[in-house]
Structure 1
Amino acid sequence: MLKCMIYHQLADILYLSDQGIPTKRRIKFLQIKGDCVQAYCYLRNATQLFKIKNILALIPVYDTRREVV
């Protein structure tokens, strides 16, 4: 997480909402605020706070190209 923030790298996360609903998000980390992370969420097109304990998985995005199959 910290490495993604330092290198301005996008990440795909699996996030569990407070209601227990899992969602996949593509985010760009902006800063760490206590037990939360402020990030730009490309699903919602907005800056949001994510609880660190609710991030179930994190995969750095190395290739942002979209290829048509």
Structure 2
Amino acid sequence: MKRLLELCFEQKKMIEIVYLSTDGAITQREVWILSISDEILTGYCYLRTQTRAFRIDQILSARIVKARRQTDVV
């Protein structure tokens, strides 16, 4: 999973993730990755229309999606 996220970041690909929040809610989000560390992925979340931080161990699945227009990326 981590390697896929790193690859998407390096290749500037948008991802769709299924994320488990700390309160147990599961959401599906399209995310443009801005940075990635060992534990945290920071990206622009199109569901919330703002930059968000996601714990990598809370990402249940990830896949590459067709990118939006470059002007849509913050």
Specify the TM-score bucket, using the shorter chain as the normaliser.
0.7 to 0.9
For residues 48 and 23 of structure 1, what CA distance do their matches in structure 2 show? Answer: 13
Q: Pick closer, same or farther for the CA change 1:40–1:63 going to 2, 3 Å.
A: closer
1:12-69 CA-to-partner distances (Å, cap 9, x unmatched) read 10000000110000001111134111110000110010000000000101365xxxxx
Q: Which runs of 5+ in 1 are unaligned?
A: 65-69
Q: Could you say which structure has the higher helix fraction?
A: 2
For residues 22 and 44 of structure 1, what CA distance do their matches in structure 2 show? Answer: 14
Moved over 4 A (4+): none
- Number of residue pairs matched by the alignment: 64
What CA RMSD, in Å, does the superposition of the two structures yield over aligned residues?
Answer: 1.3
Aligned match of 1:39? 43
Q: Is the 8 A contact 2:9 2:33 kept in 1?
A: yes
Aligned match of 2:63? 59
Q: Which runs of 5+ in 2 are unaligned?
A: 69-74
For residues 31 and 46 of structure 2, what CA distance do their matches in structure 1 show? Answer: 6
Normalising by structure 2, we get a TM-score of: 0.80
Normalising by structure 1, we get a TM-score of: 0.85
